[in-house]
Chains A and B, each alone.
Chain A
Amino acid sequence: MPKACHISACGLVTPFGQGMEFNLRGILDGNTAVSLVDGAGFGGETLPLGKISHLHPNNRFGHLMAMVCGQISKAIDNSLLQNEQTIFIISSTKGDIFKLPKPAFEIAKRILQSTIKPYHTPIIVSNACISGVASINLAAQYISNGYYKRAVVIGIDALSDFVAFGFQCLHAHSQMFCKPYSADRSGVNLGEAAAAVYLSQNPKEHTAYTALCSPGFTTNDANHISGPCREGLGLSRSISKALAKAGLRPGDIHLISAHGTATQFNDDMESLAFDRLGMGHVPVHSMKGFFGHTLGAAGVLETITSLMALEQQIAFKSLGAENLGTAKPINVCVGNVPMRIENVLKTASGFGGGNSSLILTKL
């Protein structure tokens, strides 16, 4: 069995602010980083969005990338970042969509190159909403297979009319603050963020917010391109395989950091998957009420909030969840609950039918 890898947070930019402390404070205070943005909708509607203020209006993606790269440079020594045994992986669904039809991911590579100067060209994962978790899994597998000694995974997506209008035309974006797992949930709130994690097997290279990462697996529902398999079979298979690989049983998981986008389909599907595995009683939360759905950043951002939960020994609330109502009952955290947390299961599901999961274990 491959050795589990150490993982720690090394960069975070959200509407709460930059770095771990602002974000942890926001979560513990129960505030949302989502705000009502006038005129954001296709018809001029006000939309609740996790929008970061003060991003350069003509270069939102580039500015966001530069900020997270700045944080990574401060968090990790250059000798490690520029080492030949270090690989960078960028997870993003649309990249710099604002420059269409120019290639959307070139700017991310350029900014990375100019701020950090990594040895290798970064790997770019564009796999819809599972990109973040899938990228962390890829990094952990590269390390456990000896391809590289360490990895930095950056998840990043910026808000755009392109994606907002797209979700609207699918009737998937709510005009209210999103309500994960609630009976009257009405869709996502989109958000933007850049989040970075550092993986290596050398514990000395990590500082705070560190845990063991056991990579999981990606599966496909083989059902519909923009809707999950109704029974959640693909997700439950992804979770089973991750547990087996980590040598754990469902009962060993203390907290599930789920995808919880607040669409009817996703939340029902997740409840069925968790219930099928006998995990209906395990505390589960969605962080989408705090940050919105940050797409390519989500898996990395929510891995970082899972690292926070492990450090603080607090299961964060599913902000926005009320009057719970999913296909199967699940144990949604409705407050910030101090509890013993040793193993966190992080899951993600996305357009294209993908499901991906990983497990974080307290050191």
Chain B
Amino acid sequence: MKIEYCHITDNEVYLNGTLAYTDSLAGEAFLKSLYKQLGLNYPKFHKMDSLSKAAIIGVELLRLDSQYLSDDQDDSLALLFANSSASTQTDVKFEASYKEGGLPSPALFVYTLPNIAIGELSIRYKWRGHGAFLIQPSFHPENFIGDASICIQDGAKACLCGWVEIGPDDVLDCVFFIVNKDTLYSRSDELLTLYQNYQDERIKGEA
């Protein structure tokens, strides 16, 4: 099964729309649990904020079976990421470090930009191509397609798209998917249906 997309919710992982992992832990603890379950060995992971941790886990899940995410690529892979809250959760922590903690924390400050998640992926996998981080009100896969199309025209073989939303208390809602020139439009439609189904289930569950 080629893994084309994954959805990380607060304590579940769906691969290609099918539940693949679940846990009693949630949020950042869930990401740490996935790190262990996936058998990863990357000490830098533990210094990252939730946004970057989520990006690493998302990519590792896709890399379980994807031909486009190999190490060491110049312009063959483009990274297109977005969310609605930028790096707010880490911003709050950094602000607290100097307002309440007495000293601004450099370890936190370096994560107070959402595109750092792209930076961390680039470092880990040696991806040296295009990367962009946009702020959008909510997840709409079709928003990524126009930009992906431009990247593919410019020579990328594939685009790794990521919606990386970390809410208050590090609540996760992250979707990662890959598009190439053949799947640009079909992927978007599939995702929209799956994501909408997930949202509907969640709303029902909360009711």
Chain A residues near B (Cβ < 8 Å): 42, 93-95, 97, 100-101, 103-105, 121, 123-128, 134, 138, 141-142, 145, 147, 161-162, 165-166, 168-170, 217-226, 234, 237, 241, 350-354
Q: In the assembled complex, how far is the CB of residue A134 from the closest CB belonging to chain B, in whole angstroms?
A: 6
| B98 interface hit (Cβ, 8 Å) | yes
Partner of B98, one of A123, A165, A221: A165
Q: How many residues of chain B get a CB closer than 8 Å to chain A's CBs?
A: 48
Report the nearest A residue to B83, measured CB to CB.
A126
Report Cα–Cα, A121/B84, bound state, in Å: 14
Report Cα–Cα, A170/B106, bound state, in Å: 6
Query: Are B86 and A126 in contact (CB-based, < 8 A)?
Result: yes
Q: Which residues from chain B contact A97 at a C-beta distance below 8 Å?
A: 91
Query: Are A126 and B153 in contact (CB-based, < 8 A)?
Result: no
Query: Are A352 and B113 in contact (CB-based, < 8 A)?
Result: yes
| B40 interface hit (Cβ, 8 Å) | no
Query: Are A351 and B116 in contact (CB-based, < 8 A)?
Result: yes
Report Cα–Cα, A95/B84, bound state, in Å: 13
Q: Which of B15-23, B28-36, B127-135 contacts A (4 or more CB under 8 A)?
A: B127-135
Report Cα–Cα, A142/B88, bound state, in Å: 29
Query: Are A352 and B109 in contact (CB-based, < 8 A)?
Result: no
**Can you sample 30 A-B contacts with CB below 8 Å?**
A42-B98, A42-B103, A97-B91, A100-B91, A101-B88, A103-B84, A103-B86, A104-B88, A124-B134, A126-B113, A127-B132, A128-B115, A145-B153, A161-B98, A162-B91, A162-B94, A170-B109, A217-B75, A221-B122, A222-B122, A222-B125, A222-B126, A222-B128, A225-B110, A225-B123, A350-B115, A352-B116, A352-B122, A353-B122, A354-B115
Report the nearest B residue to A145, measured CB to CB.
B150
Chain B residues near A (Cβ < 8 Å): 74-75, 84-86, 88, 91-92, 94-95, 98, 103-106, 109-116, 118-120, 122-123, 125-137, 146-147, 149-150, 153-154, 168
A104-B88, A162-B95, A166-B112 known; A220+B132 contact, CB < 8 A: no
Inter-chain CB contacts under 8 Å: number:
139
Query: Are A168 and B104 in contact (CB-based, < 8 A)?
Result: yes
Query: Are B130 and A217 in contact (CB-based, < 8 A)?
Result: yes
Partner of A219, one of B91, B129, B135: B129
Q: Which residues from chain B contact A217 at a C-beta distance below 8 Å?
A: 75, 130, 154
Query: Are B119 and A225 in contact (CB-based, < 8 A)?
Result: yes
Report Cα–Cα, A147/B116, bound state, in Å: 28
Q: In the assembled complex, how far is the CB of residue A156 from the closest CB belonging to chain B, in whole angstroms?
A: 13
| Residue of A121, A123, A220, A223 with most partner-chain B CB within 10 A | A220
Q: In the assembled complex, how far is the CB of residue B204 from the closest CB belonging to chain A, in whole angstroms?
A: 27
A103-B88, A225-B119 known; A126+B74 contact, CB < 8 A: no
Report the nearest B residue to A161, measured CB to CB.
B98
Q: In the assembled complex, how far is the CB of residue B81 from the closest CB belonging to chain A, in whole angstroms?
A: 10
Query: Are A169 and B104 in contact (CB-based, < 8 A)?
Result: yes
Report Cα–Cα, A162/B90, bound state, in Å: 12
